[in-house]
Amino acid sequence: MSIKSFASKQFSTHLLDERRRDKARARVERERRRKGEPHRIEFFHQVDDPYSHLLAQALEKLEERYEVEVATWLVEPPEDWAAPARALLESYSLVDGRRLAEKAGLHPSSERRPEPEAVLGVQERLAATLPAAEGPGSEATLEAAVALGRELWGGESDGVDSSGSRRGRRRTQRTASVQAALNAGTERRAELGHYLGGTCFYGGEWTWGIDRLAYLEERLADLGARRSGGATAAQIPPAADAGQKAGAPTGRRGEITPIYAQPRLLEQPVPAGALEAADLPDLHFFASFRSPYTWISTERVIRLAEAFGVDLRIRFVLPMVMRGLPVKRSKRVYILLDAAREARRSGVQFGPISDPVGKPVERGYSLLPWAIGQGKGIEYFRSFMTLVFSQAVDAGSDRGLRRIVEEAGLDWSEGRGYLDDPAWREEAERNREELFDLGLWGVPSFRVGSVAAWGQDRLWVLEDEYRRLAGGRA
More confident residue, 429 or 245: 429
4 domain-assigned: no
- Are 324 and 186 members of one domain? no
The answer to whether residue 3 is domain-embedded is: no
* 203 and 278, same domain (yes or no): no
Of the pLDDT bands very low, low, confident and very high (cuts 50, 70, 90), residue 322 is confident
* Residue 328 confidence (pLDDT): 86
pLDDT recorded at residue 413:
98
Instruction: Domain count for the chain, please give it.
Output: 2
What pLDDT is attached to residue 200? 97
Q: How confident is the model at residue 275 (pLDDT cuts 50, 70, 90)?
A: confident
Q: Is 242 among the domain residues?
A: no
User: Which tens digits make up the pLDDT trace of 103-158?
Assistant: 999 999 888 999 999 999 999 999 998 875 444 444 579 999 999 999 999 854 44
Instruction: Please give the pLDDT value at position 471.
Output: 80
334 domain residue, yes or no = yes
pLDDT score of 170 = 54
CATH number at residue 210: 3.40.30.10
207 and 311 in a common domain? no
- Asked whether residue 264 is assigned to any structural domain, the reply reads no
Is the same domain home to 284 and 211? no
Does residue 293 share a domain with residue 163?
no
400 is a domain residue: yes
As a whole number of Å, the end-to-end CA separation of the chain is: 48
CA distance 434 to 426: 12
Measured at the CA of 439, the angle between CA 433 and CA 444, to 5 degrees, comes to 75
Domain final residue, candidates 222, 247, 263 = 222
Are 65 and 211 within one domain? yes
116 or 474, higher pLDDT: 116
pLDDT of residue 139: 52
pLDDT averaged over every residue in the chain: 88
According to the model, what pLDDT value does residue 150 have? 96
Q: Do 317 and 453 fall within a single domain?
A: yes
Tell me the per-residue pLDDT of 38-49, one tens digit each, with 9 for 90 and over: 999 999 999 999
Average pLDDT over residues 245-252: 37
Same domain, 218 and 363: no
C-beta separation of 91 from 48 below 8 A? no
Range with lowest mean pLDDT among 173-177, 206-210, 296-300, 393-397: 173-177
| Mean predicted confidence (pLDDT) in 274-280 | 77
pLDDT tens column, 373-426: 999 999 999 999 999 999 999 999 999 999 999 999 999 999 999 998 999 999
Quote the pLDDT of residue 473: 52
Residue 191 sits in the same domain as residue 276: no
Question: Is the residue at 100 inside a domain?
Answer: yes
278 and 202 together in one domain: no
Residue 329's pLDDT is 86
Domain that holds residue 68: 38-222
Q: What is the pLDDT of residues 340-376, one digit of tens each?
A: 999 999 999 999 999 999 999 999 999 999 999 999 9
Out of 196, 222, 248, pick the residue that ends a domain.
222
Residue 398 and residue 323 share a domain: yes
pLDDT computed for residue 472 by the predictor: 63
pLDDT of residue 323: 79
Task: Provide, rounded to the nearest whole percent, the portion of the chain with pLDDT above 90.
Answer: 76
Residue 277 belongs to a domain? yes
The pLDDT of residue 137 is 46
Residue 178 and residue 281 in one domain: no
